[in-house]
Amino acid sequence: MTTRERILDETLTLFAENGYDGTSVEQIAEKVGIKAPSLYNHFKGKEDILNALIDMTEARYEEFFGSDRHIGKLPESKEEFIQAAIQKVAFTMRDPLIRKMRKFLVREQFRNERFAEITTKHQLSGVQGMYKKIIEGMMSKGLFKAYDPELLATEVTAPVALWVAKADRQPQCGQECMENIERHIRHFCDVYMTE
């Protein structure tokens, strides 16, 4: 791991534990094992590190989870929809970078409007927008009953967000939360899909 990567990794851990304002450049440098002035060889300052972390996390999320701009392959059956949804949830619940960033954002969302917007995107609007497009595409193929796709997207994603939040607060409940998420997604498909 390069020094730059170690700075990003340690900073995100500190941000998740102490918040943005509760983390100093000196603490970051100490965790990485370098002198504070050496940190400036890699980043302009703490905000630059934060921006790099956000960019890195957004790119990772886009690649492995998707978005309303990148929905990936449209599922062609109920089981494909279920498996794709579970795979996305498993990624967001288990990926260390995503988990730390979510913990940081949830903590900071009430102090910073930018963090609030990113949190809303990942827990609500972005996920719902992606599922709206997926459901619309599947509806056009006759796989979903004709309902309001935006409402269906909310109906499938909102409970999942609650279980993910529970797993973040109580990691020992992660398996139980995944089981509840799968039961919910299967129930949703039984109710709204035509197969």
Structural domain containing residue 158: 65-192
Position 19, amino acid? G
Flag whether pLDDT at 100 surpasses 80.
yes
Considering the domain architecture, whether residues 42 and 97 belong to the same structural domain is answered as no
Q: The tokens 């300052």 sit on which residue?
A: 45
Question: What six digits make up the tokens of 122?
Answer: 């990942």
> Would 102 be classed as within a structural domain?
yes
Do 167 and 174 contact (CB within 8 A), yes or no? yes
| DSSP label at residue 75 | P
pTM for the whole structure:
0.88
Distance CA 175, CA 61 (A): 22
Flag whether pLDDT at 121 surpasses 90.
no
Flag whether pLDDT at 112 surpasses 90.
no
Considering the domain architecture, whether residues 127 and 178 belong to the same structural domain is answered as yes
Q: Mean pLDDT, to the nearest integer, of 9-18?
A: 94
Distance CA 171, CA 173 (A): 5
Alpha helices in the chain (DSSP H): 3-18, 25-32, 36-39, 46-64, 78-94, 96-108, 113-120, 126-140, 149-169, 174-192
Question: What six digits make up the tokens of 105?
Answer: 């954002």
Distance CA 46, CA 52 (A): 10
For residue range 23-79, list pLDDT tens digits in order. 999 999 999 999 999 999 999 999 999 999 999 999 998 899 988 888 889 999 999
Considering the domain architecture, whether residues 167 and 107 belong to the same structural domain is answered as yes
Do 195 and 143 contact (CB within 8 A), yes or no? yes
Q: How confident is the model at residue 111 (pLDDT cuts 50, 70, 90)?
A: confident
> Would 44 be classed as within a structural domain?
yes
Considering the domain architecture, whether residues 5 and 88 belong to the same structural domain is answered as no
Share of the chain above pLDDT 70, in %: 100
> Would 35 be classed as within a structural domain?
yes
**Nearest 10 degrees: CA dihedral of 69, 185, 96, 20?**
70
CATH of the domain at 168: 1.10.357
Considering the domain architecture, whether residues 78 and 152 belong to the same structural domain is answered as yes
> Would 60 be classed as within a structural domain?
no
Considering the domain architecture, whether residues 94 and 39 belong to the same structural domain is answered as no
Q: Mean pLDDT, to the nearest integer, of 90-97?
A: 94
Flag whether pLDDT at 195 surpasses 80.
no
Flag whether pLDDT at 134 surpasses 90.
yes
For residue range 172-181, list pLDDT tens digits in order. 999 999 999 9
Question: What six digits make up the tokens of 83?
Answer: 């498996």
Show which of 15, 32, 55 is a domain's final residue.
55
